[in-house]
Structure formats: C-alpha cells, structure tokens
Amino acid sequence: MKTKSLLFIYLLFIIPITQAQVQFTASSKRLVQVGERFRVNFSVNGNSSEFSSPRISNFRVLSGPSTSTSTSFQSINGKTSQKTTITYSYILEATSVGKFTIPAASIKVKGRKYVSNTLEIEVVKGKTAESIENTESESTDKNSLFLRISVNKSTVYRGEPLVATIKLYTQRDIVRLEDMKFPTFDGFLSQDLKQVQQITLKQEKVNDQIYHTAVLGQYLLFPQRSGDLKISKAELELVINEKAGKIRNFFGEIVDNYRPVRKRLISTERKITVKNLPATKSPLFIGTVGRNMKLEATINQGTEGINYNIRISGNGNHKLIDEFSINFPNSFEIYTPEIQTNIKNTNAGASGSKTFKYLLLPRSSGDFVIPTVEFVYFDLDSKSYKTLSTKEFEVHIDQSESMPAYSNMDSTNLTSEEIASLDKDIRHIHENAFKLYKNNTTIIKSNYCLLIILILLVIFISILIVRRNYIKLNANEILVRNRRANKESRKRLKKAAVHIQRKEKSAFYTEILQALWGYLSDKLTIDVADLNKKEMANQLSNRGIEQSKIDECIAVLDECEFAQYAPVGSNDKLANIYKRASDIIKSLEQALRPI
C-alpha cells in the first residue's frame, strides 16, 4: 500500500513538473534588409522527435532544417545535472519589403506535442552596390555612422519635464569607444535617467536603412526660463574597423582586410522652445508645474507632543517645494520639520512625494486650531492653475504633570521667541560625578600627545614616499602600458571563454582579436589604429621573438578575422583558438620587456 502511494505521488507531481520544464522557442533577427541572409532557429531543451517545420513563405529558403545538439552540465552542492538542447536551423534570404510572419513549428517530446512561438520579421530596403561603394569612400561616414540627440518634446512650458536621449547610430564594426563629451544643459535642471555601464547595440530602422543603435546617455530636463533654449552638441571619439583592401587568409582564400581607424562624431544642437506660464495673482505659487498633484495633512497627538505631517504627491518638480508657511498657535514650540523625499525619475517626469514632519510642543493647556494649508501649482493637463488645501485640525491640550511648571502662565500675548526662551533661564544641577584637572596644564605637554604626533609624522612621510614612487612609475607611459598589457588581455580572454559557453561565436572571435591586438599594442607601445600585421612582425622580430611564434600569432589573427565573415565550426574549434591565443600571450609575456 505504501509503494502504491509513493507511485501515485510521483505520477501526480513529478511528471507534470518535468513536462512543464520543456521549452520550444523560435528566435531570429526581427529587422533585415532585402537580399540579406539570416538564420531562424527552433530550439527545444529535451530529446525530441517528429519535428514539423513551419510553412515559410515570402522568404527564400537557402538551407534547412539543419540539426545541432548541445549538452551542458551543472554541479550544485555535489549534485550534477545535465541539459540537452536540440536546435533546428534555417538559412533564409529576404526578397521583398514588408512585414512578414514565420508561423509556429511543432515538435513532440516524450509523446507530448509542443508548439513554438511565431516570428514577426520586418524587411526594409537595402543599399545598392553603388550606394554602398560611395558610402565607404566617404571620409565623414555621414550615412553609416552618426551621433544624434533626440527629445520627446520640442515645445514645453517653463518647468515642464522633457527627455533628451544621446544615441549612436552605426552600420560599421565598432572596436571600442574612446572618449565621450556630453552636452551642457544651460537653462535646465537635469537628472540622469540612464547610467550607461555597458554599451548594448540594438537594431533600428532609420529612413528604410538598418542601423545598430546604442543609447549613450538619457536625461530628464526641467527648463527654468522661457524663450529658446539650446542643448549643446555631443561629441564622441571611437575606433572602427575599415576596409583596407584584400588579403589571402589562413585557408588561402582572398577576403577583405580590415584595419582599425579612429573617428570623431559630433551631433547637432537641439533647440527647445519654452513657453512662459500664464499670469497668476496668487502669492502662493512658487513655480511648481505638474500633474495629478495631491496635498494631505495628518496629525497624531501623543504624550511627547504633537506630530503634524504635510505630504504632497504627484508628478512634478518636487525640488522646488520648500517648507510651508503655517500660522501655528503662539503657545506651541515649533521645531524645524524633518523632510522626507521619495522621488522617482522616469520618462514621464519626476513622480513621488515630499513629506514635511513637524514636532509641536504645547506650552499651555486649552483648545487650539491648526489652520488649513494651501498650495498652488500649474496643471499641465488642464493648462490652468489649481489650488490644493488641507483640512483644519482642532486640538485640545489637558493640564498634565509632564507639562512644564510654567504651563499655567497665560501665554496668549507672548511671542513664539519668548515662549521658546521660557525654559532656558533655569537649569538643573548636574548630579553626576566629574573629574577635575589642574589649572594651567595643557594636553600638548603630555607624553601621549607627543607619541601620537610622532606616529602621525611617520605615517605622513611614508605616504609621501609611496605617492612619489607611484607618480614616478606612472610618468613612464611605456612602463604603464607594459604592466597593464597582460591584465587587459586576460580580461578579454575571460570574456571569450564566456562566449564559448554561450555559443556566441561572432562575439568570441571579436574578443580574441581585441585581446591579441590590444596586448601587442600595449607591449610594443603602438596605437591600435597604427598597428598592422607587417609592423607587428617587424617589431617582434627586432625584439628577438622566434619566427615560429610570430607566424603562429599571425595565423590566429587571420583565422579569427576570417571566421567573423564566414561559417564557423564547432565549440571544439573555438576552444582550440582560445588555447592558441592564450599560449601566444604567455610565450610573449616573458620576452617582451619595455625598451
């Protein structure tokens, strides 16, 4: 009976969980040009059978479905798990402009049928051979590489938020970004919306052309004066790969040769028209502009005093909101309010709340009134001024023992300054023990003080010596570049190893090329843009490096450059390239010394 129960639990829970973990997905580029060849993958994470391919129209099927299998192992707390992924791939060619749908495919896993998602692919016009040739001959890269500042609004009210985005558009192969000069926002309050830590390229259509785009910065701006304001130009210096003729690769085939070239991009200025706010006679308006703003007040009367809070919330520039002017009763001692701000900056503006927390201490008994508080702001939806107000609070204060002895005094005619000073004229006697010191003695003359001064002097001199050596070492550019060469190349190799695990072959070869070229550039003290294989071979030969090592280095560079533009092999081949590149750097590390 017990065995049957366990079997029932297994069938009820384990099998459905296993089946729920099966995933069958379709993936591809979503934006292609006419004549462009691209890959469509259908992947399932399990042993499958009876793959039913979709009916593909509007695209030319060049090959497929081809099948590939990958297996990964994971060990957690001594338990090893295995994951198998089977991928069915098609190579398609776009033939006409439009938006097309690739239908779902189906597959069976352990007798159960699974259906993939569909793919929406947009095809745009591609450049003709003549236009491509003309573009590549332009030194300005106006059509294939540019920097742009875009705004979501070009006409706003004073104080109304807008978003400015700095974006890079490219159809070229970017090696690295060198230097970025962000625009100035004169006349605006600015808040960073996006802190870019790592550049991520995405596809985007511009004038029927496909570009790889990257957001370099995004800002939320609040104009502070009316008239025409300008967002200044942004500048970017970067290194790209540019064609440098034809070469014969490792396999004896003639392919395009590329060399790194430094470019500088400058965006255009953006003009923002700022309209002045309508005239208002309300003295309560302090310049706040927003939407859906609310004002509320709460009160909590306790034994230690009265907690009175005012909270204003909504979408607006809360930084302009200062402490409210409130006519509290004269017999209340008022402390400076604690201000709590909870603001979130988004593309829609600055939203959140700002709370003012007042502590009120009554100095006499009786009935008191905390008056209403009003706030005026300009509403962007209705294009008019709105007045918000809190409710009035009535407070009753009883005579209590905790109240000061002078609480029975009639404080009706006293000012707030006089009430605040009532408890300052008499002080309690200090009852705790305290230590007396001889007169005319100073701590400077003590041995402890002299010892501390001596220790601080030694530490200061040591810091000066270390700092001087550090400046001396870093003043020599050759030594600095030589020290960092191996460290930077190892970082690149670690990234390449990650790309092997993820099967990102194009990214893997790019990292290997940057690791080798960057290492050689730092070791030979030659900028990457000025370094080529011939110069590299001459420099290594002059340093006494064996010709076999030089040939191996050139062979790895050739093989990686070829693999970026041609079909590549299995992960074993990537691992082999990784080991060869690592061995090259290890063998050169001891031989290449700064000269």
User: What does the DSSP assignment read for 318-341?
Assistant: GGG---------TTEEEPPPEEEE
For residues 399 and 365, is the Cβ–Cβ distance under 8 A? yes
Distance CA 532, CA 258 (A): 10
- Taking alpha carbons only, the member of 328, 334, 340 closest to residue 305 is 334
How is the chain split into domains, by residue range?
A: 23-124, 129-275, 285-420, 477-591
CATH fold match for the domains 23-124 and 285-420:
yes
> What DSSP character marks residue 444?
G
Distance CA 213, CA 326 (A): 52
Tokens of 91: 């190579």
- Taking alpha carbons only, the member of 173, 126, 143, 158 closest to residue 31 is 126
For residues 540 and 550, is the Cβ–Cβ distance under 8 A? yes
Distance CA 316, CA 160 (A): 8
Q: State residue 458's pLDDT score.
A: 92
Q: State residue 571's pLDDT score.
A: 61
Would you say the C-alpha torsion 525, 531, 537, 539 has a positive or negative sign? negative
Distance CA 518, CA 505 (A): 20
Give the list of residues 6+ apart from residue 369 with CB closer than 8 angstroms, or none: 329, 392, 393, 394, 395
Is 285-420 a domain of CATH 1.10.3470?
no
Is 477-591 a domain of CATH 3.40.50?
no
User: What does the DSSP assignment read for 487-537?
Assistant: HHHHHHHHHHHHHHHHT-HHHHHHHHHHHHHHHHHHHHT--GGG--HHHHH
CA dihedral of 482, 488, 490, 496, whole degrees rounded to 10: -140
3-state SS class at 476: coil
User: What does the DSSP assignment read for 568-595?
Assistant: ---HHHHHHHHHHHHHHHHHHHHH----
Distance CA 264, CA 140 (A): 9
Grouped pLDDT means (10 residues each) for the chain, 595 residues? 50 45 83 82 79 83 77 65 80 85 86 86 66 37 79 90 90 80 87 70 78 87 89 88 74 74 88 89 83 90 84 85 83 86 83 89 86 89 89 82 43 47 52 62 68 89 84 60 75 85 83 85 76 82 84 84 62 80 82 59
For residues 278 and 161, is the Cβ–Cβ distance under 8 A? no
Pick the CATH number of 23-124 from 2.160.20.10, 1.10.1130.10, 3.30.230.10, 2.60.40.740: 2.60.40.740
For residues 272 and 225, is the Cβ–Cβ distance under 8 A? no
Residue 346, CB-side half-sphere exposure with 13 Å CA sphere:
8
Distance CA 395, CA 111 (A): 75
Helix (H) or strand (E) holding 257: strand 254-266
3-state SS class at 360: strand
Q: State residue 274's pLDDT score.
A: 92
> What DSSP character marks residue 12?
I
Give me Rg for the CA atoms of the chain. 36
User: How many angstroms separate the Cα of 117 from the Cα of each of 102, 203, 322?
Assistant: 9, 21, 54
Taking the CB of residue 432, how many other CB atoms lie within 10 A of it? Answer: 4
Taking the CB of residue 257, how many other CB atoms lie within 10 A of it? Answer: 18
Q: How far apart are the first and last CA of the chain?
A: 83
Q: Which residues, listed in sequence order, are joined to residue 8 by a DSSP beta bridge?
A: none
3-state SS class at 154: coil
Distance CA 578, CA 573 (A): 9
Q: What's the residue count for the chain?
A: 595
User: What does the DSSP assignment read for 364-432?
Assistant: S-EEEEE---EEEEEETTTTEEEEEEPPPEEEEE---TTS-GGGGS--TT--HHHHHTGGGS--PPP-S
